[in-house]
Amino acid sequence: MEMIKIDKKDWNKGLDRSRKTYRLVGPVKRAGEDLAGFYELADKEHPDMGAADTVLSAKSVVYPQTEVMFRYTTDKNSPDCNRLKRPAADYSPRAVIGIRPYDAAAILMLKKNFDTPDYRDPYWCDAYEACTFVGLAVDAPSSTDFSTSTGSGPFSEKGLDVLLVDMAGHYLAKVLTDKGAAYMKAAGWQRAADAKAAAQQIEKKKKAAEALIVSSVSFDKIARKSILDLYKADFWDDVAFSCINCGTCTYVCPTCWCFDIQDESKGKTGVRYKNWDSCMYPLFSLHGSGHNPRGTKTMRARQRFMHKLKYFLDKYDDGIMCVGCGRCVRSCPVNIDIRRVCELMNRYGPDPDACAV
């Protein structure tokens, strides 16, 4: 694994050089927003590497909130009448600069959903393949960060092509994949660092950052409880009591992937869109007959937590569908906290580890 040293004075120059082959995406403030989100950078724009975490995750880079799937005409005089056409989109290489390690780990979870042995979502997969993820290690985790207990962490390399570590005057760049190496080359950052010394410095910073994370979740017992026992647990009304089903938690979440498909016509032309959706909304599961299998807010809140902390765990046997970024905890208007719900679920019922007396 290659270690490269990037002097901060070469930072913007390198980014600009890489624009010849890459479109750049990074955290920036946009008008009307109090905190940075991930956007495609304009020509002379550079990512805000000092920004605190973004309100919305970086998932929109591969999975936009609204995306055109097809265009169509309903004009009977056109030979293309009622035929859906996927419009050409720009899938040229894009580099995602400054993505947080937990957001990159989350993108690998989305991949489980969108890139399967049976079907591939071409919109998601094409965008994903176009991306090189140049992550920034988190030195000062927020008070709601619990990523270390979810299999990610402030210095996690999962899903990244390059991990940058901020060393004040320079970055140490740990090049993790061929895609990452190609980006470093395009940016002209090629000065090798003393690998051993760099690894030690990174390890030290990593330990320090991890030590700053004060909260955690345990889900070690959830896998051995039955879906039905957890589903019927007595705490769901209490958990959902103050929830207003606003859906914020699902929108800010890097691992929530549910979507809706809608047609929108203007005159005789139109678009079939894919839009983020939320299990917190009654319409999500409403049948045409008026029947709704998840007709109450308790059922919807339970669906969100059961999906993340139980169904996903059982289906993939690869941890929970949460990277511990803490965004939903920070953004929920009524302070519903997934850490508490996870704890309730983990502790519910007889302890599978307890010795029989």
The contact set with ligand FAD (CB under 6 A) reads 287-288
The C-alpha atoms of residue 294 and residue 283 are separated, in whole angstroms, by 10
In the bound state with ligand FAD, the residue whose beta carbon lies nearer, of 300 and 327, is 300
Give min distance, CB of 155 to ligand FAD, in A. Answer: 43
Sites for ligand SF4 among residues 289-318 (CB under 6 A): 308
With CB under 6 A, what is the number of residues at the site for ligand SF4? 25
Query: What's the min distance (Å) between Cβ of 185 and other proteins?
Result: 31
Non-local (6+) Cβ contacts of 211 within 8 A are none
Per CB under 8 A, does 251 bind other proteins?
no
Smaller CB separation from ligand SF4, 6 or 325: 325
Q: Is 263 in the site for other proteins (CB under 8 A)?
A: yes
* Binding-site member from 69, 167, 199, 233 for other proteins (CB under 8 A): 69
Q: Is 288 in the site for other proteins (CB under 8 A)?
A: yes
Which one of the spans 120-128, 229-237, 257-265, 319-327 is the region binding ligand SF4 (CB under 6 A)? Answer: 319-327
Q: Is 12 a binder of other proteins (CB under 8 A)?
A: no
Q: b or e along 71-91 (b: 16 or more beta carbons within 10 Å of the residue's beta carbon)?
A: ebbeeeeeeeeeeeeeeeeee
Q: Considering only CA atoms, which of 106, 105, 123 is closest in space to residue 114?
A: 123
Q: Pick from 269, 275, 273: which is nearest to 72 by CA?
A: 269
| Binding at 235: pick from ligand FAD, other proteins, ligand SF4, none (beta carbon under 5-8 Å per type) | none
Which residue stretch of 44-52, 53-61, 65-73, 146-154 sits at the interface with other proteins (rule: CB under 8 A)?
65-73
Say whether residue 122 binds other proteins (CB under 8 A): yes
The one segment of 5-13, 171-179, 192-200, 324-332 that binds ligand SF4 by CB under 6 A: 324-332
Q: Which of 12, 66, 78, 82 binds other proteins (CB under 8 A)?
A: 82
Which residue pairs from 167-173 have beta carbons closer than 8 angstroms and sit at least 24 positions apart in sequence?
A: 167/201, 169/7, 169/8, 170/5, 170/6, 170/7, 170/8, 171/5, 171/6, 171/8, 171/11, 172/3, 172/4, 172/5, 172/6, 172/198, 172/201, 172/202, 173/3, 173/4, 173/5, 173/6
Residue nearest to ligand FAD (CB): 288
Length in residues, the chain: 357
Paired sense of beta strands 94-99 and 170-175, if any: unpaired
The binder of 231, among ligand SF4, ligand FAD, other proteins, none, by C-beta within 5 to 8 A per type, is other proteins
Q: Which is nearer to ligand SF4, 99 or 338 (CB)?
A: 338
CB 250 within 8 A of CB 280: yes
- Pairwise CA distance, residues 75 & 351, whole Å: 64
93 binds, among other proteins, ligand FAD, ligand SF4, none (CB under 5 to 8 A by kind): none
**Which chain residues interact with ligand SF4 by CB under 6 A?**
243-249, 252-255, 280, 308, 322-328, 332-334, 336, 338
**Which chain residues interact with other proteins by CB under 8 A?**
69-70, 72, 74, 81-84, 86, 113-114, 116, 118-122, 226-228, 231, 257-263, 265, 270, 272, 277, 279, 284-289, 291, 293-294, 299, 303, 306-307, 310-312, 314-315
